[in-house]
Every structure is written in C-alpha cells, then in structure tokens.
Structure 1
C-alpha cells in the first residue's frame, strides 16, 4: 500500500480554508462602548405578579392539605377537598414559588442621579436611568453608578512654571459621568483616573507661562480665567474617552513653593519699587516739560541749549525731591 504525501497546492488550499471555518474572536475597543438603555419593567407589574403567584401557591397548598385548618383552637381555613393528584399539585406549588421568587427578586428602586449598569457574564447589557419602583431581571448583574453633578477640590499639586520656579497649585473640578458604559468598563476606576489627570493637566497648563512677569506686562498665571479655560479644555479632552464630562476646572490657589517664596517676595517688592520710581520719574519729567514750555511760550526767559539743560536738571531735582516720601514704596 502506497501513501501519497500532500502536495504544496493542497497545503495552501487548506490554509486558505481554515480562517473561513474557524470562528474569529470579536475584539471590543473603547470606541465600541456606548451607553444604551437597559431592559426593565414597571415595578408594579412585578409586584402584582408576585402577589398573584403567592396567592395561587397558597391556594394550592390549601388544596394539598399542607396548611393547618385550625390555629390556636380556632378554625381559620375551611376543610380542603380530597386531592386527586398530589404530584401535580406539588409541582404547581413549586412552579408558582419559583415565579414568586423571580418576580420579587427583580424589584428595585431607581433614584434620581443614580443609574443601574447591567451585565450578564461580564458583558454589558445596558443602563437603566428610570426612577421609582422598577423590575430588573435577577439573572443580570447590577451595579449602581452615580451620574449626578459632583465637585472635587484637589490637594496642593507641586509643579513648575515656564521659568522653572516651583509652585503649589490647587484646582476645583466640576464633573459628572456622562456615559456609564465607558465609565464602568473602559477604565478600572474613573474617579482615581480623574485625580491623576488633574495633576497632569495642571502640570501642562502651568508650565506654559511664568507665575509673575516682573520685567514686563506679558501674560502670566495670575490670569485665573485664562488658566481655568486651559485646564478645562485639557481635562475635558482627557476624560471624554472614559465617559466623564468635565464642566469646569478653576484654580483656587496658586502660590510659590516654601523654599522660594521669600526670594520671590523680595523680587516682587524690588520690581514694584522700580515700577513706582519709574512712574514718579515720568510724572516729574512731564511736570518739568510743562514748566519749561510755559516759560518759553510766555517769553519770560530766553534760553540756549546749555541753559535749557541746566534748568531741566534743576527743576527735575527740585520736583523729585519735593515728592519726599511719595517716591518710596510702602512696605509692610
């Protein structure tokens, strides 16, 4: 007997057929997770079903003679007729008992701001946002999730500004869960993820600008409205894939780190002092120019360049000295 080895063409044909025969596992990504309504019934229908089933089960128990006719010497039930088929009666009792347990076991309450996330064997089966008395199949797993508007104030986050100066920043976040499917299954803990993303967003936003600009009037982190808008945009973009909606992220505290706070206060006082002196000098020069122009326009004096410079110098010293304590920056 001769055995023929499979040819190369046969092997290629078998390889091509295998993908069509073998089932392909479905890959679920975050983009596939979208909240959808879960199945539920009004609670009164389940309650009514449970009551009717319980009453019918009690009647069948009475027919089987399992219920006592007398209690504490008093007749509470009429005499039951002789049953013909106890097996059928007990089967009906068990069936009605199971129906009662199934109907009563699914009763639950929906609350405003709370959502029931339903699962079966780990697979998402929908979300129930209805309120009041509800019936949800007891064969489904249920997980309550808070979708109300919440706020959270962060601790002091250590970061640095555009100049590398250490800062401590705290922000107030207003947020809520918008897509319960993504919040429940796209991330392990959306609340912890939000806290970590707040630190990342604060670090990115604060590092774009200096905390103070002592040498000019450029944009700084003291513009809390601009900083809050940047934080809100960054956090909203980071939290959208996990079903969390960020309404606002506003800085509530921004200060220098303790190790540089004293030095930065001295730099701030020095800058304020220089700015104040520059403003005083501008006022003095304006007054001197007005005085010299008034004298020459009225023809009171005739000055050449040397005399004009001398007059301007003397008037500047006089006016600046007359300011006295006004030229000094008040210090605490």
Structure 2
C-alpha cells in the first residue's frame, strides 16, 4: 500500500454551510416542516463529519468504511470525504534509544552495545496499514540490526590493520543505518541517523581485556623504542666512521652498540661510568 493524496477543500466553508444547515433545520422543526428539518439535519451531520484539523508536522490518513482513500498532509482546517475515520500520524523527527544489549562479537567475546536511531515517517499508508505498530516495529528491527552488525566484527583489532567496532565507529554507524533502513522499508519509515551510544566489554571479561590492551600497548611502544634505538646507533657509528673521529674494530663496535642500546632502551636513566685510566 502506497500513500496518496485525498480530496479536500477549505474547512471553514464546510463549517459555514454546516451552521447554515443547523439553523435551517431548527427553523424547519419550529414551523413543523419535519421532513425538511430531518433532511437539513442529515446534511448538517455530513458537513460536520467531513471536517478535519491537521496540526503542523502531522498527517491524517482517511479511511472510508475500512478502505484507505488517501492522506491529508497539509496543516490547517479542511473538509474531506464525510463519514470517514481520520487517524493521526506524526511526521515529526523521532528517536529511539535501544536497550543495552549483550552480544558476542565475531571472536566470541561478550560485549555490551547500545545505539540511538533517529527516524521519521515518510509514508503514512505503510506506517498505519502495513505493520501492526510502526513505533514498536522500529524498536524491534533496530535492535535486531544492531545485534547483527555487532556480531560481524571484533570489538577491537589488536593488530591495528583490520576492521573493528571500536576503531571504525563511524563506518559501523553507517552500516547500521543502512541495515535498519532496509528493515524499516516496509513500515514507510526513513532512518536519518544511527549512532552507537555505548560500547564496552561485558563485565565478566572487562578486566582481562584491559590487561590485554595494556600488554598490546606496551609491546607496540617497545617496538617503536627498539626501532628508534637501532636507527640512532647506526647513525652514531656512521658519523664516527665518516668523520674519522675514532677507528673501531668489530669487538669495540659490539661493545659500543651494547652500551648505546642499554642506555636508550632502558626504562631508567643511564648512570655513566667514567674510565679515568689505569695506574699501570
């Protein structure tokens, strides 16, 4: 079912005609024109049942004895098809905060994840008649999509060269929005934005994963320090040789490299030992 426009006209004209019919009906009853009074009363009821008030950013879906005939989107006071039901559908931007879900990432680690979904209704016919309750439909499908996306990737990539929930939050949010939009297409809802609001390891493994993250950070830092130290030692040896400051054989080079590496890589400041020469 697709939304369509319904016939409508200025509601104040209908209100004026309704009041005119009401006055005419009362007058007819007073002068004992019962038949005319009943006819005017029926016409008055027709006009009254045809008026509808549409607030800004709202719509009215018009159904005539169970058949959808169209939607009034323009705000104002309107006259439309009489004796119809006119349920209200909000066109305002809404948001849904999902519950904190506990799922397993692609590596099997239990994580806690939650998201906020910003959406609005773009097709009133689908929102009302294709699903039972479009707001509840948005909630269930959003949480289902969030679970699916969370299980596709690891929480963190310790090699720093892959895709992860923590390291690629924007890309994950975009993928989540696309998947939710696909699921909500049947409800006539447009997803404006989807963002993760909570992402963490589950409490039962949080401390262990923190230690793993700390160990990975220490290893990465050590690798950088060693790479820098090797470069500095190589530069020092080349400078000594190029400028003929001192001639070093292989044994002395090995000792010098060892001393420089210890001084540079050590976590504590090096304590120099000065050789003042020998007595003999």
**Of the candidates 12, 17, 20, which is equivalent to residue 49 of structure 1?**
17
Alignment of 1:114-263 (within 5 A): 114-222=58-166, 223-263=168-208
Residue aligning to 1:287: 232
Relative to 1, partners in 2 of residues 1:45 and 1:278: Cα closer, same or farther, differing over 3 Å? Answer: same
Q: CA deviation at 1:57?
A: 2.0
RMSD: 1.9
- Work out the CA distance in 2 between the residues paired with 1:254 and 1:325: 40
TM-score, structure 2 as length reference = 0.89
User: Any idea what SS the aligned residue of 1:324 has?
Assistant: coil
Q: CA deviation at 1:123?
A: 2.1
**Of the candidates 46, 55, 64, which is equivalent to residue 111 of structure 1?**
55
Alignment of 1:55-134 (within 5 A): 55-64=23-32, 89-134=33-78
2:223 is aligned with 1:278: yes
Relative to 1, partners in 2 of residues 1:216 and 1:132: Cα closer, same or farther, differing over 3 Å? Answer: closer
- Work out the CA distance in 2 between the residues paired with 1:262 and 1:319: 32
- Work out the CA distance in 1 between the residues paired with 2:22 and 2:232: 101
User: Any idea what SS the aligned residue of 1:142 has?
Assistant: coil
User: Any idea what SS the aligned residue of 2:74 has?
Assistant: coil
- Work out the CA distance in 1 between the residues paired with 2:221 and 2:228: 11
User: Any idea what SS the aligned residue of 1:246 has?
Assistant: strand
User: Any idea what SS the aligned residue of 1:112 has?
Assistant: coil
Alignment of 1:292-303 (within 5 A): 292-303=237-248
Q: CA deviation at 1:265?
A: 0.7
TM-score, structure 1 as length reference = 0.76
Q: CA deviation at 1:325?
A: 7.3
Conserved 8 A contact 2:49-2:83: no
- Work out the CA distance in 2 between the residues paired with 1:202 and 1:61: 66
Q: CA deviation at 1:91?
A: 0.4
Larger radius of gyration: 1
Unpaired stretches in structure 1, ≥5 consecutive residues = 1-32, 65-88, 327-332
Relative to 1, partners in 2 of residues 1:134 and 1:299: Cα closer, same or farther, differing over 3 Å? Answer: same
- Work out the CA distance in 2 between the residues paired with 1:218 and 1:302: 48
Q: CA deviation at 1:317?
A: 1.2
Q: Deviations over 1:211-269 (max 9, x none)?
A: 11223432221221111111111111111122111111111211111111111111111
- Work out the CA distance in 2 between the residues paired with 1:225 and 1:304: 56
